Amino acid sequence: MPRPCPLRPGHGFECDASPSAAPQPHLRGTAVSDRLSAAALIDLVLDEGSWESWDSPPERGLVSEQYAAELRAAEEKTGLDESVVTGAGLMRGRRVAVVACEFRFLAGSIGVAAADRLVAAVERATAEGLPLLAAPVSGGTRMQEGTVAFVQMVKISAAIAAHKTAGLPYLVYLRNPTTGGVMASWGSLGHVTVAEPGALVGFLGPRVYEALYGRPFPPGVQTSENLYAHGLVDAVVPPEEIADILDRALTVLLAPKRDLEEIPNPVDEEVPDVDTWESITRSRRADRPGVRRLLRYAATDVIPLNGTGQGEFDPGLLIALARFGGSPCVFLGQDRRGQTEDHPLGPGALREARRGMRLAAELGLPLMTVIDTHGAALSVEAEEGGLAGEIARCLADLVTLDAPTLTLLLGEGTGGGALALLPADRVVAAQHAWLSPLPPEGASAIVHRDVEHAPDMARAQGVRALDMRAAGIVDRIVVERPDAADEPEEFCARLGAVLRYELAELWQRDREALVGARTHRYQRIGRLG
């Protein structure tokens, strides 16, 4: 099954190579002699001559003679006074704050002085309203300072959390190696996280593991590529591509609201009264356009993300940052290509969706969900993986989400897996899209004990877009002429014009008022009168 390609300029959403075809990772990654210094990485990413250091001389308490000698040797070796450099500069003309480790300074380890420098930089970036770029490369906590250094993880994490609470982007590039307390604090909190190819990335370093347990750590686990395969990082990208990717991400995350009021509202066409079963049949065509073609024809600046960030990836859901016209959004789309009999939509896909919901709330961006699923998994793994609970949490999160929300019913909408992405401020439907508690065949089996009554059950249940508009579930319908599968590019472009307008309208509305109106909307559906 093809996966979304890494976040590389010029790449689309389809990749011929499977994850197994990726270059084989090396456990210890790039040789130290080949590793870019912090200064070289900054020069590579920022515009020439724009770097402004924020560092002041570190304040140190009493240290042992041996530790003092190690610090002097590190200073002589690197020309730096600590393992962290901080500052600001321009990236493609946009001012950003940067915190980066220097591995040659005591293996990039973090002690009290380094932590103080990190926190001061994060707080300054927050105060100045700057996006923050982090490039950790570290063995973790500085052993020479012990427990006091270890506890510095708390204040670093708190500063990052405050930066994100302020609605400011935090983007992370994990370098070789990133381990220990650094990986377990500021290395794992990014809105978007990418990693260096072949890098050693993990919590407990393999040398420590071997010393503690008397055997080597299994090879190939603590690598960028393996973390990507498990949905823990969004891409594996070489240093020379970082500036392009960060710029594309910030283009979406920092998109201005100006001129959005000028986006025209497409005229709604009269929707033909096509029979319900005919619509369901058309929605099931294998060549019907899905989320990938929608993004290709209707969106710009698409930045695919990957997984939950907590160890899961489900090909049934596509998560991305994207713009439709000038309107940015966090995009969550059920991918019909990723859902098969062997791998239907599972609880991991809904946990990915909840990651997207958190991103939208943290960044203050609109959230767009796309429903197109023949149903969530019915399996032992799905039950033990908490599918019902994930549906419930998605519903609760969406109804109360502190961000504008837009839902698109694109095709099939079967069961709780579809409902989980429904609650929104505005709901748009393709003409032949539908939503039902079960596939019509399943409903027929319950009521009639056969599947022959499926068309009658579908008609009676009011599952089609026209019926949902009459019930107040759908706000507007985009016609198909006569079937989206027969005009995929034209249909996606027509749909994109509607989505651009709806996103622009939502983004300009008061967020607090939206949440209250959204709750009221779903309270009144189904009430008589």
pLDDT tens sequence across 440-474:
999 999 999 999 999 999 999 999 999 999 999 99
The H-or-E segment that residue 97 falls in is: strand 94-101
Sketch out the chain's domains with CATH numbers. 25-252 (3.90.226.10), 267-523 (3.90.226.10)
Task: Name the more confident of 420 and 344.
Answer: 420
For residues 12-29, give the mean pLDDT.
Answer: 32
pLDDT at 30 over 90: no
Question: Which residue in 465, 470, 461, 418 sits closest to 440, CA to CA?
Answer: 461
Q: Is the dihedral of CA 449, 455, 459, 462 positive or negative?
A: positive
Cβ-contact 177, 140 below 8 angstroms:
no
157-205 pLDDT per residue, tens = 999 999 999 999 999 999 999 999 999 999 999 999 999 999 999 998 8
pLDDT at 124 over 90: yes
Rounded distance between C-alpha atoms, residue 165 and residue 363, angstroms: 8
Predicted confidence band of residue 528 (pLDDT cuts 50, 70, 90): low
| Backbone angles phi and psi of 371, in degrees to 5 | -100, 125
pLDDT at 12 over 80: no
Task: Name the more confident of 398 and 311.
Answer: 398
For residues 425-431, give the mean pLDDT.
Answer: 98
Q: pTM value?
A: 0.91
Rounded distance between C-alpha atoms, residue 387 and residue 316, angstroms: 14
Q: What is the pLDDT of residue 259?
A: 67
For residues 281-307, give the mean pLDDT.
Answer: 96
Q: What is the pLDDT of residue 326?
A: 87
Q: What percent of the chain has pLDDT over 70?
A: 93
Q: Rounded mean pLDDT of the chain?
A: 91
Q: What is the pLDDT of residue 204?
A: 84
Q: What percent of the chain has pLDDT over 90?
A: 83
Distances in Å between the Cα of 194 and the Cα atoms of 8, 273, 300, 464, 507 are: 11, 48, 21, 41, 28
Task: Name the more confident of 259 and 222.
Answer: 222
Predicted confidence band of residue 8 (pLDDT cuts 50, 70, 90): very low
> Among 3-17, 22-36, 299-313, 378-392, whose mean pLDDT is lowest?
3-17
Q: What is the pLDDT of residue 13?
A: 41
pLDDT at 284 over 60: yes
Distances in Å between the Cα of 453 and the Cα atoms of 374, 443, 448 are: 19, 9, 7
pLDDT at 20 over 60: no
